[in-house]
A and B are shown apart, each in its own frame.
Chain A
Amino acid sequence: MTGHIQGSAAGGVAASAAVEISDLSKVFNHGKPNEVHALDGIGLSIETGSFVSLIGPSGCGKSTLLRLIGALTAPTDGTVLVNGKSADQARLDRDYGMAFQTSGLFGWRTVTQNIELPLQLMGWNKLDRKNRAAEMLELIKLPEFGDHYPHELSGGMQQRVAIGRALSFQPSLLLMDEPFGALDEMTREHMQTEVLDIWKKTGKTVVFVTHSIPEAVFLSNRVIVMSPRPGRIAADIEIDLGARTFDTRESQRFFELITQVREVLRFDEDSR
Chain B
Amino acid sequence: MPTREETTRAVALLERKAATKRGTRRFVVFIVFLAVLALAYTGYKAFGEAVDDAQTEWAVVGRILPRTDDLTMPPIVDIITEFGEPPQRNSGKPLVAFIAEASLFTLREAALGFFLGMLLGLGFAIVMLRSRWLERGISPYLVASQTVPLVAIAPIIVIWGSKSMGWLPFDWQPWMSVSIIATYLTFFPIAMNGIKGFQSADPASMELMRSYAAGRRQTLIKLQFPAALPYLFTAFKLAATVSIVGAIVGEISGGVRGGLGRLILDYASRYTTGPSRLYASVIGAAVLGIIAVGLVTIVEYLVVSRRQQGRTVS
Contact = CB atoms under 8 A, between A and B. Distances in A.
Interface of A: 70, 72, 91-94, 96-98, 100, 102-108, 117-118, 120-122, 144, 149-151, 158, 169
9 contacts: A72-B207, A94-B213, A98-B211, A104-B314, A106-B313, A107-B313, A120-B222, A149-B306, A169-B212
Residue in B205, B207, B213, B310 whose Cβ sees the most chain A Cβ within 10 Å: B213
A91 B210 contact: yes
B10 interface: no
A106 to B, nearest CB: 6
B130 interface: no
Interface residues of B, number: 26
Contact of B4 (A144, A151, A158): A144
Contact of B211 (A72, A122, A149): A72
Contacts of A106: 205, 222-223, 226, 312-313
Given A91-B211, A120-B222, A144-B4, A108 B310 contact: yes
Contact of A107 (B210, B211, B218, B310): B310
Nearest to B307: A108
B218 to A, nearest CB: 6
Contacts of B309: 107
B224 to A, nearest CB: 11
Given A103-B314, A144-B4, A149 B212 contact: no
Contacts of A108: 226, 229, 307-308, 310
Contact of B204 (A102, A107, A169): A102
Nearest to A169: B212
A81 to B, nearest CB: 18
Contacts of A97: 211
Contact of B213 (A91, A100, A120): A91
B311 interface: yes
B202 A102 contact: yes
A107 B202 CA distance: 11
A91 B214 CA distance: 10
Given A72-B207, A106-B223, A107-B307, A121 B212 contact: yes
B211 A104 contact: no
Interface string B221-246: 01100100100000000000000000
Interface in B287-314: 306-314
A27 to B, nearest CB: 21
B312 A122 contact: no
Nearest to A147: B8
